[in-house]
Every structure is written in structure tokens, then in C-alpha cells.
Amino acid sequence: MLNTINIMIDGIETKVAKGTTVLEAARDLDIHIPSLCYLKGVNHSSSCRVCVVEVGPRLIASCTLKAEEGMKIQTNTKKVREARKTSVELLLSDHDRECLSCSRSGGCELQTVSNDLNIRTVTYVGEKSSQEKDYTSPSIFRDASKCILCGRCVGACGTMQTVGAINFAKRGFDTVISTAFGRPLEESTCVNCGQCIMACPVGALTEHENINDVWNALENASKYVVVQTAPAVRVALGEEFGLPVGTRVTGKMVAALRKLGFDKVFDTNFGADLTIMEEGTELISRITSGQNLPLMTSCCPGWVKFMEHNFPDRLDNLSTCKSPHEMEGAMVKSYFAKKMGIDPKNIVVVSIMPCTAKKFEGSREELSNESMQDVDWVLTTRELAAMIKEAGIDFVNLKGETFDSPIGEGSGAAVIFGATGGVAEAALRTVFEITSGKDLETIEYTAVRGMDGIKENVIELPNGQKIRTAVVHGLGNARKLMEAMERGEKAYEFIEVMACVGGCITGGGQPIVDARTSERIDIKAERAKAIYTEDEAQTVRKSHKNPYITALYEEFLGTPNSHLAHELLHTHYVKRSKF
């Protein structure tokens, strides 16, 4: 075939498509070539030299070497092994090797490669680069002493997300990964999405940890500590305990949270249903008035901050709705506090999120009421797993338990918020029925599902009104869509955006999957499948049918978009520097 070529790897003859790299060809044959800087779809720089192979007399990095007709490749000669060991030993010579206390111990790709290459001593010693730690961001902690300059974080931030908050700076031995002008991360254009953390093979980038803050709150007898969990957490937490990717652990998670000592265990799905009521009403209102269209979702704090930096003239298009966990926090400190007779100042709200950007969001002044933040602490899925392990809880063998009422009950529509397209589908389920006054028999809007970067669809309401909808995930795709709109090439009434590719299921706070595993398993697809399965298992699958949401409006808020609802559940955004 004209589009294939013949090559030989370790004596095995094979056909590969033109343009295939030697690394890809070898892995298709189950021949393992170690790598560090390579991350499929994100970074292909051949900078670490760990993936070298022998082609004739030359050693060449296989991650960027395109296969050629008749090429003979050897992956396991003495010359190859020694070159790989030398490359890794040089990395270790300038690396903070305090592995036992590192957050990535046991899951560090440098550690794995070192073990695989049987490196037992560090041959090269000498001057070490002096690196500072950056604690300034409420979301992301940077420890440059552990950085191996692989460039994967730069690829994730610049190429994939088009944020460009970090890049290589200086030269030679002094090379570092830095923000513009070396400013603290907090003062950069970072949107806190955490995809740099997911890309990092070592412990140079982690979430800004708040575990001790939550332990202290739980130990404080004067505080009533409430926890809520986002839908994406339940389909990923099990991975931290050795369960297969996409395993649903909802009941075990609730049981573990009770064992940790939380006074109430709520489900952010309640807040998601509330978001649909407020945002769906807002959408109908904007379509009716023709103002500030398209309505863009505001559930994702990484996307919101991206807009504040890059498209400030479009901030009026963002929904004024707070995100689901912020809405839930506001309801805990108002509606729930009133029902329970608890002073809201004594309530601590902890959110377990798949997202590092939620940490920044929780600290925003715009998300508070009466000098109280709606949410006090945000923990990632990884941090929750760490707490469960620290407490000695046998997570895998826990018996499932259910969320507490009334703020622990959510619909199937709320569950699918965790996957790209979920917010749009949940909103359409409710908007369609509210405008028609009829119950729908078929409620799945499959046109907004799937992993295409930009999905477009037109929904026709019973009154003949058409809603042109776009669903976008990954900020690189979001930028493409926004720029197309600015050029007048695209027009919509409703746009859903999630900063992370795949949505919250692959958020910056989820279990980290090493580069090799992510090539073999479609993490996004497995977790999304679990999300939709949980939706199908729910008795109530539409937000406006949730009886606890109905009671909330009857007893407290009045109607969606009421004055009180706007006071507690809506917010505004701020223009930020582009540099």
C-alpha cells in the first residue's frame, strides 16, 4: 500500500503508516521504550533523550523520529541502555531526590524510569541549580527543584490550553520553567485549570494542599462541618485505591466521608440542579429579550478566568449564575442553617472537586455573602484520597451509604455535569419541558455528547424558537470558537465551555494517569461512561423534577431568578490583565 512503509524493530518486520514515529511503531508491537518528555498530543520535544534507539551507527530519540522505508531499529542494545541510563543519571544529578516525602512518590515517572533502568547510584555530582518554591497561587504549588525541564507542562499550558502562563526561560544550566518576567504564578495569566499538574511526570507541580485546614476544622468542636462532592469525583476516586478506571464508588465515598467525621455529607448534584433552574430561566429570559446572547455557561472557573483575561468585552455573555458548589455552599449557609437553627458563621463548607481552579474560585470575593465565603475549603479528588488513607480507612471494602437530605439529593441531569456536554444537556431537558409544559419521554440529547472538541447543534423548542448550541471542551478549542465569533463566522444562543479536555472528569484535581497508561486506556471515555450510567440509574433525571429543589423554591427562594435568588446565587466577573 502506498500509505504504508516496511520497517524492522528488534528483528520484527512490520508495516506502519507514513508519518508514524518509531516510538509509536514500537509500542504497537508491545516493545517498551521508556520516555519522560513525550506526552501524546501534548509534547513531542525529544528533550530528555530517554527514548533513544539505535538506527545504524546513530542513537536517535524515537519520539520524534519518523519511520522510513527499510529502516532497521534496535531498542535494547548495550549502547542504547547505557545512553538512557546516562540521560536519567544527569537528570537525577540536579533533582531534589527526597522521594519519600514527595506527593508523587510511587506515581512518579522519573522514579519508575530510574527503577526500570536499574539505576542505584547517582554517578554525576556537582553544582545544583538553586530553585525557589512558589506558594502564591491558591490552586497550584510549584517546586522547581523537582522540575526535569521536560516541557510537558509548557505543552499543556501553551499548546493545548493556549493560556501560555509558563514557558522556558534562560539558557543552559540556568534554564527554568517560568512565568512572564518571573512573576509569582498568582500574578500571571494562569487560569488554575491544573492541566500542567496532570502533564508533569514528577512532583514539580501539585495542587495547593488544604488537607490540614480541613483536619483542623473537623477537630474544632465549635464548628459544624459540611462536605459536598462533585459528580466527577465518584467516577475517579476509586482509581486512587487500585480500582479500574471509570469505577463508580458513590456509596463508598459517602461512607468514607462520614468516617472522616463530617457532620453532613451532601451532593453537589443538588447545586447543579439549582444551577439549571437559575441558568435555564436566565437563558429563556435572554432569548426573549434578545440581550447578551449567546449565554455562556459559568460553571467552570478556569473558563471564567480565561474569559476575564482574554475576552473581557464578552463578560456580559457569561451567565451570572454561580457554579454548582458555590450555589450549594450559599444554600448551606442560608437555607440549611435556618432550617437547622445553626449560626452560619459556625458552619464550615468543604467542597471535594475534580478541579484545582475551584480552589481559586472558592477564594473569590465575588462568591461571598455577609462577609462569609460560600465555600470555605476546596479539596481535590487526590486530597480526599490522601485523607482517607491517612485515616486508615479500608476504602475498597466499605459498604455503600447514601447522601444526607435535603441538600444531598440530585437528579440524573445533575450527574452529567461532570462530562463535556452535560451542562447543555441538563439545561435543555429542563428548558424544553418548561417551555412546552409537557413531559418528555426521550430525554437524552446525544448530539451534545462525545469528545469532539467543538460540537454544534440546533434545538427547536415547542414554540418554534431555535436554540443554536455549541459545546466546547479544552481552552484551545474555546479560543478557536471565540475568535470565530469575533470574526462573525459563528453565532449561537447557548454555549457550554469546560476548560479541561473531556470536562470535569479529567480535571486538574483528578487521579494522575501516567503517560504510558493514558495511551492504552481512554480515560475520558471510561469516566464519561460511568457518569452516564449513574444518570440512567437515577429515579429523577430532570432538574426541575427534583422534589428538594421544588421545596427550596417554595420554602425559601420563591421563584428562579427572584431577588433573593440573585442575591445568593448570582455573581459578576472582573476584567484581568492579558499579561
Q: What is d(CA 283, CA 423) in angstroms, rounded to the nearest whole number?
A: 13
Neighbours of 566 (CB within 10 A): 14
Of these residues, 282, 326, 383, 433, which one is catalytic? 282
Give residue-wise pLDDT tens across range 242-264: 999 999 999 999 999 999 999 99
Is residue 113 a part of any domain in this protein? Answer: no
Task: Note the pLDDT of residue 240.
Answer: 97
Q: What is the DSSP string of 416-477?
A: GGGSTTHHHHHHHHHHHHHHH-S--S----GGG-SS-SEEEEEEE-TTS-EEEEEEEESHHH
The answer to whether position 552 is within a domain reads yes
- Catalytic residue list contains 279: yes
For residue 472, what pLDDT is reported? 94
For residues 338 and 355, state if they share a domain. yes
Q: Which pLDDT belongs to residue 441? A: 61
Catalytic residue of the set 109, 207, 361, 425: 361
pLDDT digits (tens, 9 = 90+) for 166-217: 999 998 888 999 999 889 999 999 999 999 999 999 999 999 999 999 999 9
Has residue 1 got a pLDDT over 70?
no
Backbone phi, psi, residue 178, to 5°: -140, 160
The three cell numbers of residue 540 are: 429523577
326 lies in the same domain as 383:
yes
Number of domains in the chain: 3
Mean pLDDT of 90-105: 91
Q: Is 319 one of the catalytic residues?
A: yes
Q: Which cell goes with 282?
A: 436566565
Per residue in 505-524, pLDDT (tens digit) is 999 999 999 988 998 899 99
Active-site residue, from 319, 334, 368, 518: 319
Q: How much of the chain exceeds pLDDT 90, in percent?
A: 76
Nearest to 42 by CA among 192, 199, 204: 199
Whether 440 has a pLDDT exceeding 80, the answer reads no
Tell me the mean pLDDT in the region 292-318: 96
Is 383 an annotated catalytic residue?
Answer: no
Residue 102 maps to a domain: no
Residues 167 and 228 in one domain: no
Pick the catalytic residue: 504, 518, 534, 543? 504
375-389: pLDDT as tens digits: 999 999 999 999 999
Catalytic (active site) residue 504: yes
Active site residue 358: yes
Q: Which of 37, 299, 300, 500 is catalytic?
A: 299
Task: For residue 71, give its domain range.
Answer: 4-92
Dihedral sign for Cα atoms in the order 423, 424, 427, 430: negative
Average pLDDT over residues 137-147: 94
Query: Is residue 410 domain-resident?
Result: yes
- 551 and 408 housed in the same domain: yes
What pLDDT does 436 receive?
67
pLDDT at position 346? 97
Q: Exactly one of 358, 359, 490, 524 is catalytic; name it.
A: 358
Is 150 tagged catalytic? no
What pLDDT sits at residue 232? 95
Q: Is the pLDDT of residue 451 over 80?
A: no
Do 254 and 365 lie in one domain? The reply is yes
The model's confidence at residue 445, banded by pLDDT at 50, 70 and 90, is low
Amino acid symbol at 339 = K
- The structure's pTM equals 0.93
Q: How confident is the model at residue 536 (pLDDT cuts 50, 70, 90)?
A: confident
pLDDT at residue 444 tops 80: no
The CATH number for 195's domain is 3.30.70.20
